[in-house]
Amino acid sequence: MKIAITSQNFQTITGHAGKTFRFLIFEVEGNQITDQYPQEIPKEYVFHNFFHNINATPETPHPLDDVDVFITGSAGHGFVHRMGQRGKKVIITSETDPKLAVEKFLRNELEELESHHH
């Protein structure tokens, strides 16, 4: 499983998932983190641009298609809905430590917040 954390500074969980271009990727096998690395996506693939400017469908390829779960500090209803159409789970949390958030997620202990309206 791959988990992407929105992290504009590559250190903490940041919000605005649809406008984020930097992610921390965690690879997980079973309930263990096996790898962690930063990933930056090109501007045209920032989800807000991708969904609105490219008019992407759930079948349109994206560099983060191999991610199963997105953990973020904030996201709108549209982001959550569109990611759901792509088969991705979005978790909004107040946790700021990326590794701790993944560990809590794997133990089903990560606090989940609601998405917001824009």
Mean predicted confidence (pLDDT) in 73-81: 94
pLDDT surpassing 80 at residue 37: yes
Q: What is the pTM of this model?
A: 0.94
Closest CA to 86 of 53, 61, 105: 61
- The predicted model gives 102-113 an average pLDDT of 96
| Mean pLDDT of the region 56-73 | 94
**Structural tokens at position 29:** 């096998």
Give how far Cα 32 sits from Cα of 49, 97, 110, 113, Å. Answer: 33, 17, 16, 24
Mean pLDDT value across residues 65-84: 96
